[in-house]
Amino acid sequence: MKNKILNNLPLKIIAVFAAILLWFVVVNIDDPVVSKSFANIPVQIKNDSLIKNNGQTYQVLNDSQTVKVVVNAKRSIIDRIRPNDIVASADMNNRTQDLVPISISLRRFEGRYESASCDPRNLQIKIEQEASNKFPIKVTTEGTPRGGYVYSDESTADPDTVQISGPKSVVDRIDKAEAKVDISGKSSDERVKAELVLYDSAENIIDQTQLINNIGNEGLWVNVVFLKTKVLTINIDTSGLSAKSGYNISGVVSEPQEIRVAGSEKDLESIDDLSIPSYALNVGELSKRTEVTVDNINRFLQTGLELADKTQKSIVVTILVDKDGTRTFDIPLGSIIVSNIQDGLLANYSKVGIIEFTVVGASNLLDKYANQENKQVVLNLLQYSEPGEYKVPLDIKLPKGLKLDDKKYIKVNIEKAEDNSTED
């Protein structure tokens, strides 16, 4: 038996080594070492109290607080690694000036992978004095409430101030703090979770990664208040207006003629119009058509009401003044009737704006014409048979006993019409 074992011993030893080598080759072919990349792995910072205990703090620069990690391991291991298995850490004990080396480890896979590296390899920091400041919190909204309701300025943030601490260069940039809430489709008062947003003086949003605040675990909330809306007619008090001798005030109109206000249902029930007192017009004796801008119209609202559109703070009041025995009217250019255009021609003129004309006659006839709904103005092109630009008189149809103070003209460009017909 001994002779059988020792017989050809060198060859048998070689065979054993060959078998082992073949086993390693087969294993590596079936389960080779491969690489895999994992992006946006957060870097955990350790022992930063070494800086903060000295009244200082730090900023992480160049977005180096997330890294790309490359792991080398057998395929059977690589396929099981997930991003949350990877731990990237930077220990302030190992800091060299403004660089802190980043080390990589893998939870659950210690000793079972070949290597792991990251890019960048260092956390870049800037050390500076810590600063702290308190800011009032202003409520801002996004979205549109339910129809017939508006958001009220009575809404408040809870808490209404915030203490911000962090690197002095960042804290000093903060210009304002806002509690942002979404009010889409809402109409009833409620307490809504809000997002704290910080802005610099140029309205740029400030990254809060390196900042801390005192809001705590309860978070930031807004007590949102909504008001019901109603459209009021604007009425102008004309009792204080006067015209010079030989003139009369023939009418007063406002733009807009209606305005939407907001308030409680009880306050809105008893009001249908907004009265603008005559003293707000602040004009003397008039002898011509006059336009007056009335600012801060919210001052004429009763207590408890506010403008639904806070940007609409003024109205324009037009006071129509005519000579005795005359009245000035205006109609939209777009309502002019075009007649007798020659075949093959087109007439182009501005249809935007108004045409203003003055009519002379007895007061009773002028009053009757003023109440006439359809004031007919005709553009008669019978005499214009050639292309060109013409100053054409308007034919303003007036009742018997009235006449125009002066003729009115409109500039018309007459062109040949395009022939869109095709021959068979």
The pLDDT value given to residue 362: 87
CATH of span 326-416: 2.170.120.30
Q: Who has greater pLDDT, 31 or 75?
A: 75
With 0.85 as the threshold, say if the pTM is over it.
no
Please check the confidence at residue 56 and state whether its pLDDT lies above 60.
yes
Q: What kind of architecture, by CATH, is found in domain 129-224?
A: Beta Complex (2.170)
pLDDT per position as a tens digit, 388-422: 999 999 999 999 999 998 899 999 999 998 765 55
Alpha-carbon distance 61 to 63, whole Å?
6
Asked if residue 133 has pLDDT above 90, the reply is yes
pLDDT at 5: 52
Q: Looking at residues 236-243, what average pLDDT do you find?
A: 88
Rounded to the nearest integer, the mean pLDDT of the chain is 87
The CATH superfamily of 228-323 is YbbR-like domain (2.170.120.40)
Using the structure block, give the residue that is written with the tokens 């943030």: 157
Question: Measured between alpha carbons, how far is 146 from 183 in angstroms, rounded to an integer?
Answer: 9
Residue 424: predicted pLDDT: 46
Mean pLDDT of 174-183: 94
pLDDT at residue 21 greater than cutoff 70 = no
Beta bridge partners of 34: 73
DSSP assignments along 250-291, one per residue: EEEEEESSEEEEEE-HHHHHT--EEEE-GGGT---EESS-EE
- Domain positions in the chain: 1-30, 33-48+55-120, 129-224, 228-323, 326-416
**Residues whose CB falls within 8 Å of the CB of residue 157, separated by 6 or more in sequence, listed in order:** 137, 138, 139, 179, 194, 220, 221, 222
pLDDT > 70? residue 423: no
51's enclosing H/E stretch is helix 49-52
One of 2.170.120.30, 3.90.245.10, 3.40.1350.10, 3.40.930.10 is the CATH number of 33-48+55-120, namely: 2.170.120.30
- 201: amino acid identity, one letter: S
